[in-house]
Amino acid sequence: MSQPVQPNQSLLEGIEILLEVARRDEAVRVRPLARELGLTPTRLQRYLGTLAHAGLLKQNEDSSYGVGPGIHALSAISLGASGLARRAMSILPAQCRKDDLVALGVTWRREVSYLYFHSPGEESHLALEKTAGYPAEQSAIGLALLAQQEDEQIERLYAEDAAALLPRLQEIRDQGYARTLQPDGRITLALCVGSPAIAALALARQMTEVELPAHLSQLQNLTRMLETP
């Protein structure tokens, strides 16, 4: 985890850019994205060109860049390597009530991506939508994972927005779980999976304050199952 000798900056930055593009719904254009990321257009263009050459991105006719055919290979290989997705698929559908909302997600930068997502009334289980733009600080999963980071890291990530966030994260650390309120009145509880945390599991249900500890302990059981290989 510590800084290695001669870290390859091209590789680090290139991966950042790949994920930045993959995370978005629409294809990106060179100069606007360059401004947003604080890179020169030349530099970004050469990264995008390289990733397109590798097949991970592809350039459209209007010269914007979106994900390319290679992303499926990347997805298949990383999925196989992840293990967590495999465990989620075999454990979660069986262990959860049909009217629960159950989600397993990770944070990247300030946003949440899902490995598993089950909402009541839907049949599909897999991580599905491009959920680009779902802000970590509004999601129970995001909050649970942010609370694992040092205050210093949060300040670097959220800059002036950190002030409002830090007390909330401290509260989460103290009580050991994150909690948000859905628009429909359901309560969402979230716990981290693994230590150090690599993902977080969330459960949303109708519940009263009195019932909360019982639901929490069920969630704890589920995370423990996900942690055991």
Partner DNA sequence: AGATACTGTCACTATATAAGCAACACTATG
Partner DNA sequence: CATAGTGTTGCTTATATAGTGACAGTATCT
- The footprint of DNA (CB under 7 A) covers 4-11, 13, 29-32, 39-43, 45-49, 59, 63-64
Over the window 66 to 105, marking each residue x when it contacts a second copy by CB under 8 A and - when it does not, the resulting string is -x-x-xxxxxxxxxxxx-xxx--xx--------------x
Least distance from C-beta 83 to a second copy, angstroms?
8
Q: How far is the CB of 3 from DNA (least distance, A)?
A: 9
Is 44 a residue that touches a second copy (CB under 8 A)?
A: no
Helices (H), 69-196: 70-82, 84-95, 140-146, 151-158, 162-175
Interface residue with a second copy, options 51, 101, 144, 189 (CB under 8 A): 51
Tokens 């609370």 locate to 147
- The one-letter amino acid at 20: E
In the bound complex, what is the minimum distance in angstroms from residue 194's beta carbon to DNA?
22
Between 29 and 125, name the residue whose CB sits nearer to DNA: 29
Residue 155, number of CB atoms within 10 A of its CB: 16
Taking each helix axis from N to C end, the angle separating 70-82 and 84-95, rounded to the nearest 10 degrees, works out to 70
Name the one range near a second copy by CB under 8 A: 126-134, 155-163, 171-179, 214-222.
Answer: 126-134
Separation between Cα atoms, residue 178 and residue 169, nearest integer Å = 8
Please state, in angstroms and as integers, the Cα–Cα distance from residue 98 to each residue in 94, 165, 190, 192, following that order: 9, 33, 18, 22
CB neighbour list of residue 28: distance below 8 Å, 6 or more residues apart = 20, 21, 48, 64, 65, 66
Please state the closest distance from residue 191 (CB atom) to a second copy, in A. 16
Q: Site residues (CB under 8 A) for a second copy? A: 1-8, 10-12, 14-15, 19, 22-23, 46-47, 49-56, 67, 69, 71-82, 84-86, 89-90, 105-108, 113-115, 123-132, 194, 196, 198-199
